[in-house]
Structures are given as C-alpha cells and as structure tokens.
Amino acid sequence: MTTISDVHMTPDEFRRAGHAVVDWIARYMEQVEDYPVLAQVEPGAIRARLPEAAPERGEPLEAVLRDLDEVILPGVTHWQSPNFYAYFPANASGPAMLGDLVSSGLGVQGMSWATSPACTELETHLLDWLVDLLALPESFRYTRAGGGVIQDTASSASLCALLAARERATVGRANVEGVTRTLTAYVSNQGHSSVMKGAGIAGIGRDHLRLIDVDDAHAMRPDALERAIVADREAGHTPFFVTATVGTTPSTAMDPLRPIGEICRRHGLWLHVDAALAGTAALCPEFRWIHEGLELADSYCFNPHKWMLTNFDCDAFYVADRAALLDALSILPEYLRTKASESGAVIDYRDWHVPLGRRFRALKLWFVIRHYGVAGLQLHVREHVKLAQEFAAWVEADARFALAAPVPLNLVCFRHVGGDEVNQRLMDELNASGDLYLSHARLDDRLVLRLAIGAPGTRRRHVERAWQRIRETAEAIAGGA
C-alpha cells in the first residue's frame, strides 16, 4: 500500500467482506446454544493473546475473522444463548442488526433536524408508535406537550429526568444555588443504582437521595414515601423528585404508580417512572396493569434493548412536558443555528439528552417493529412470561426450593431452603458448568437466585433442562459431592 486510494476498502471489497461477516454472524446464531454460556477465562487471558502492538500494515479480513474465532469468542459470555438467564436479557435480533448496519452505512450524525431530517422524524414517529403499542398516556406524544426520544440507556434517561426536574424546582428562585443544595430525591431501596449515580452527577448529592422502605412484595410503600417527604420539608429541605420502578432489578417488583403519583402531585414533586425491563410487557393488553397510574408521571422510560429485540443501545424516554427538559438541556451556540431550528417547526434532539451527537438508532427499532409486527412482538413476550410462570410452579412444588418473590412477568427469584451458602455454591457450580447462567440478588437479607427468561431463542426444553440441572446440582451439594 503506497497511496491514499489503496488504503480504503472499495465498495466491491466491502460487498465481499460484508457477506463474509454476515455469514460469520449467521453461523454464530446457529451455534450459540453450544457454547458455555458464561465465559470460562481467567482475568487477563484475552489480552495475553493479543499482539503487543497494532499492525504496521493492514491485514486481510480473513485474519481478523480467524482471531474472532480463536481469541475473542472464548472470552465472550453468550447473552444470546437460550440458556442465558442472568441479570435481564439484552435481546439481539436479525432485523435489529441489519437496521444498525444501515445506520453505520449511512453514517449520519443526527444532532439537529437539519443535519439529517429523516433521522429525527423517523425517531419521533416511532416513539409515537410506541405510545400506541404500549398504550402509554397521550401526554407523552409530541403532538401534545410531551414527546419521546431515544437515549442510549435508562441510566441516561433517569439523569435527564433529574436534570429537568431540578430545573423546574429551581428556575426563577431567588437563590438558585442555595435551593439546589436543599433538594432531596426519593426512590425505593430496590430502585436501580443508576438513580444514585444520577443524583451524584446532577449535583443533588448521593446523601440527598432517600431510599424508601418497601412492602412484602418489595414494592415502594407510599405511606413511607409521604412521611419522608414531609419530614424533609420540615427539616428545611426541598423535596423535588421521585423515581418509581415498574419491575425492579432484583425482583421485578411493581411500585404502585397511582398512590405514588398522587403524593407527587400533592407535594409538587416530579415523578419519573423507570420500567427498563418490564415496560416491554405492555405490548400485551393483559400486562398493561403494570402501568396503572402512569398518566400521573412527568417522565417515563423503558429499554427496547432489554426485552424488545432491539440490539443495545436503545432506551425510549418520554416526558409529559418537553419544555422542562428543553429548559434544562438546550443550548444554541452560533455554529449550531439553522433556519429550521429558529423557525421552531422542527425537533433538535441534541437538546433532549446529554451528548450533542447521535446515531440513527431509530433504524434498528423500525426494522424490528416492521419485521415482527405487533403480533410477533406479543408472541415473544407471552412465550417468556408463560415459561417463567411454569418454572415458578415447579419451584413451588419442590419442598427443597421456595419462591423468594412474586413472579409478575418473566423473572423468577427462588432459593434452596438450605441457606445462603448452599445457594451460593449452587449458583457457582451451575455457572461454572457452562450449561446455564444465573445471577443473584439479596432479598429480605437472604441470597436468592434469579432466573430471567428473555433470550429470543429460549424455549420450554431449555427451561426444563435448566430446572433439571438445578435440581441435580442441588442434590450433589446436599449429598456432599
């Protein structure tokens, strides 16, 4: 290679290489079930197999694909395996991958409407579709005072909600800095760690985030919330923000939105609803009860990148009053001014999140919704909920095991009755076997195992086999093996 024209991949070379990569991914999809689910490598093992220095001269794609097989795959934990039950799912799907590929191919930067109008308008339109698909409140539509935007993650969505709420609570006050120092926020003690992180980033202070008690089903207690708000106000604080969780991370507990929302209205607090995993279930009318009271929320988010077949990253974030969000985040330096923006006729999504730049993420979501249709997406959700309910019934019928929490959707929290040590060993041995991958949580101060059913390929035979492996392994531990 000597000239600049020689270094780039030509469209023709790209076509050939692209086919080879798509073939590689298709083979991976065929074989993913056969790999040990949890990567069985020691720390540093992958780096040790990589060359010390970057190549001086370009290498053929074949060499890269070979190293993908030999160096990278052994260090991959297979989130798309039908035997993956840890954490929450991170669905990948053919249509999402192809939509993402098109986004890469176009390589547009959609920070403003004018920098690629389709990037903005497709996104706005799809987020309105999702209002229909999940039967979300009408106030979340852009055609009303609200609107939706795709964020990278629920963590970013929570942060933006906090920033908008902070703006609303402090703007126009005589002593903004003084008031900001008194702000207090609320989330249940089962809420996601990103709320704590966000409180730090937003300058609220982690010690100004109150962790509210939960009931026997691990859901926030509205009476405890209200007491905390009143006590803070009496102590001279300024309560301003509540996160309610629809489907908590440890156990998919459902905070009661209506009473929480009524408390927020009564005391003038912003209500953000975090439905990162569970929101997808509302595709099915029979699960829409999880959003009962959502019309009282100021903002809401769920992650199509968890259970809605859209490759990471894709979080759908809504506000009921976009003015509060824009007040907090919009900026307009001279170099970003365009006629379209000045006219107010268009959306500039750079003002709806923290980064300036943004990818054309709506494409993958569009490919997904058009490939599956509403009916296909509903089948996907119903299959997993049904399998989780079956698994829960097997646990209940076995005297050596107990359910550790209600099972409203697709996550089963359970434990062996032998105590924490047995459960820890059970999980460690199962995960080391590579046959399946579970994670854990602590509920009521006990270690519990989490089996989250949500990988696109998981069928009844996989869940049956998981239960069989769990019982066999427990017997071996009890027998002193």
Question: How many of the other CB atoms lie within 10 Å of CB of 73?
Answer: 14
Smallest distance from ligand PLP to CB 220, Å: 12
- List of residues 6+ apart from 97 with CB closer than 8 A: 25, 311, 364
Residues 6+ apart with CB under 8 A from 200: 206
**Closest approach of Cβ 277 to ligand PLP, in Å?**
5
Q: How far is the CB of 244 from ligand PLP (least distance, A)?
A: 10
Is the Cβ–Cβ distance between 146 and 322 less than 8 Å? yes
Least separation in angstroms between CB 338 and ligand PLP: 31
Nearer to ligand PLP, 103 or 249 (CB): 249
- Closest distance between ligand PLP and the C-beta of residue 243, in Å? 9
**DSSP letters of 317-367?**
EEES-HHHHHHHH----GGG--HHHHHT-S--GGGGSS-S----THHHHHH
Q: Which is nearer to ligand PLP, 36 or 250 (CB)?
A: 250
Judged by DSSP in three states, 280 sits in: helix
Q: Which CB sits closer to ligand PLP, 88 or 391?
A: 88
Nearest approach in angstroms of CB 123 to ligand PLP is: 17
244 vs 426, beta carbon nearer ligand PLP:
244
How far is the CA of 202 from the CAs of 183, 213, 363, 381, 470, in angstroms? 11, 24, 31, 35, 43
Instruction: For ligand PLP, give the closer residue by CB, 161 or 346.
Output: 161
**Nearest approach, Cβ of residue 154 and ligand PLP (Å):** 4
| CA 345/CA 290 separation, integer angstroms | 35
Comparison of 192 and 462: residue with beta carbon closer to ligand PLP: 192
176: left (phi over 0), alpha (psi -120 to 50) or beta: alpha
Instruction: Report which of 429, 454, 439 is spatially closest to residue 250, judged by C-alpha positions.
Output: 439
CB-count burial class (<10 Å; 0-12, 13-18, 19+) for 2: exposed
Give the shortest CB-47-to-ligand PLP separation in angstroms: 25
DSSP secondary structure string for all residues of 407-427: -SSSEEEEEETT-HHHHHHHH
Exposure b/e, 214-244, CB count within 10 A at least 16 = b: beeebbbbbebbbebbeebeeeebbbbbbbb
CA pair distance 323, 233, nearest whole angstrom:
26
CB of 351 to ligand PLP, least distance (A): 21
Give the distance, in angstroms, between the CA of residue 370 and the centroid of all CA atoms in the same chain.
21
Query: Quick one: 93 or 153, whose CB is closer to ligand PLP?
Result: 153
CB closer to ligand PLP, 248 vs 410 = 248
Closest to 390 measured CA to CA, from 477, 446, 453: 453
Nearer to ligand PLP among residue 82 and residue 191 (C-beta):
191
Structural Rg of the chain based on CA atoms: 24
Residue owning tokens 């929290």: 413
Cβ-based nearer residue to ligand PLP, 226 or 315: 315
Distance CA 108, CA 122 (A): 14
- Other C-beta atoms lying within 10 Å of the C-beta of residue 380: 19
Ordered alpha helix ranges (H), 135-208: 154-170, 176-182, 193-201
Site of interaction with ligand PLP (CB under 6 A): 88, 153-155, 192, 194, 245, 248-249, 274, 276-277, 303, 315
Nearer to ligand PLP among residue 204 and residue 409 (C-beta): 409
CB of 223 to ligand PLP, least distance (A): 22
Smallest separation (angstroms) from ligand PLP to the CB of 310: 12
Q: Could you give the C-alpha distances from 11 to 15, 71, 103, in angstroms and in order?
A: 6, 28, 16
